[in-house]
Amino acid sequence: MSFLDFHRGRRLRTSASMRELVRENEVRPQDLMMPYFVVETDDEDFRKPIGSMPGQHQLSMKQLKKRVGEAVAMGMKSCILFGIPAEKDPEGSQAYADEGIVQESIRMLKDAYPDLIVAADTCLCEFTSHGHCGLLSPSGEVLNDPTLDLLAQTALSQVRAGADIVAPSDMMDGRVAAIRDTLDEAGFVNTPIMSYAVKYASAFYGPFREAAENSPTSGDRKSYQMDPANRREALREAEADIAEGADILMVKPGLPYLDVIRSLRENFDAPVAAYQVSGEYSMIKAAAQNGWMDGDAVMMESLISFKRAGAELILTYFTEDALRLLNG
């Protein structure tokens, strides 16, 4: 390396304007998808803080519409909905009810903000009384194949309500194919599936359990979510979902699995999404509240890391905060 080459990097870092000129990656509003938790309640003003996720709330439909409107005004392009029903049962029937809380919320948001991309989390765990993502056998085993039809029904009900994207997060084998077949047969051939293709059995989901009220009443999800030690398995899972008809591949969690995001980017042509999960969000928020870190700076550095790793889309609870910064 010559002396001139050695100093090239420094010459290109001399000012903020120069650094922006040669920046390789950037975070844009269209890169961010905001998750919201909507609650079935008669209290239209219901807005309950989520203790383990500072700044996040469980919201009634009315409060959801208000908060989404504020975010859309800042430039938010997409969101994803998680529903908390008034009643739960072993079959998770409110997940696929035509007038379920997610379905009604989709209709409301699409009517109010037609250009907003509204995705729906497609799973049973928030709706089952036992908290698992599928039907259970009498012995407590999660039944893969009998669950597929209910997941397909859930996706179809969400799309009929107006969802632009369905996002199966259950990790049942074969669920992408079941959903794709059902949507196609109903005429929804143009609705994309954003598959939670690589979803690890992670400890970083802790705060989400409070937010979505979906902790399993017994056992855990390690038999159908992935072992955090495995990377090659992620490629097998992603390949299977692509073959079944997935349009977007998601990795969840995000920051602890940047290597996996990069692997998917290098091995598949489909768009890659990263889910910066509740634990990642809460750690940064807690450290910032204690004055240990510059919260905004760490937030943006974490978001750019996803883009650098190869993600086109970032699901993050920081969406609204990031939009405020991007708007100056």
The percentage of residues in the chain with a pLDDT greater than 90, rounded to a whole number, is 79
Residue 56 included in any domain: yes
Residue 142 forms part of a structural domain: yes
Answer whether residue 25 is part of any domain. no
What pTM, to 2 d.p., does this model score?
Answer: 0.93
* CATH number of the domain encompassing residue 205: 3.20.20.70
Asked about 222 being catalytic, the answer comes back as no
Q: Which residues pair with 276 in a beta bridge?
A: 316
In a domain, 22, yes or no: no
Concatenating the DSSP letter of every residue in 270-322 gives S-EEEEE-HHHHHHHHHHHHTTSS-HHHHHHHHHHHHHHHT-SEEEETTHHHH
Residue 3 belongs to some domain of the structure: no
Q: What is the pLDDT of residues 66-117, one digit of tens each?
A: 999 999 999 999 999 999 999 999 899 999 999 999 999 999 999 999 999 9
The answer to the question of residue 24 being in a domain is no
Domain for residue 293, yes or no? yes
3-state secondary structure at position 128 = strand
**Length of the chain, in residues:** 328
- pLDDT tens profile 195-252: 999 999 999 988 887 776 666 655 566 677 889 999 999 999 999 999 999 999 999 9
Q: What is the pLDDT of residues 266-291, one digit of tens each?
A: 999 999 999 999 999 999 999 999 99
pLDDT digits (tens, 9 = 90+) for 44-53: 999 999 999 9
Residue 3, pLDDT above cutoff 70:
no
Number of domains in the chain: 1
Q: Domain of 137?
A: 31-326
Report the pLDDT value the prediction gives residue 11, as an integer from 0 to 100: 86
pLDDT in tens, 109-164: 999 999 999 999 999 988 998 878 888 888 888 888 999 999 999 999 999 999 99
Instruction: Kindly name the residue from 77, 88, 199, 307 that is annotated as catalytic.
Output: 199
Residue 125 φ/ψ, nearest 5 degrees: -65, -30
Catalytic one among 65, 77, 88, 252?
Answer: 252
Is 307 one of the catalytic residues? Answer: no
The pLDDT value given to residue 102: 98
Measured at the CA of 124, the angle between CA 280 and CA 148, to 5 degrees, comes to 120
**What is the distance, to the nearest Å, from the Cα of residue 69 to the centroid of all Cα atoms in its chain?**
20
Report pLDDT for 202.
92
- Say if 246 falls within a structural domain: yes
What type of residue sits at position 245? G
* CA 317 vs CA 137, 254, 324: distances in Å: 35, 12, 13
Mean pLDDT of 163-169: 96
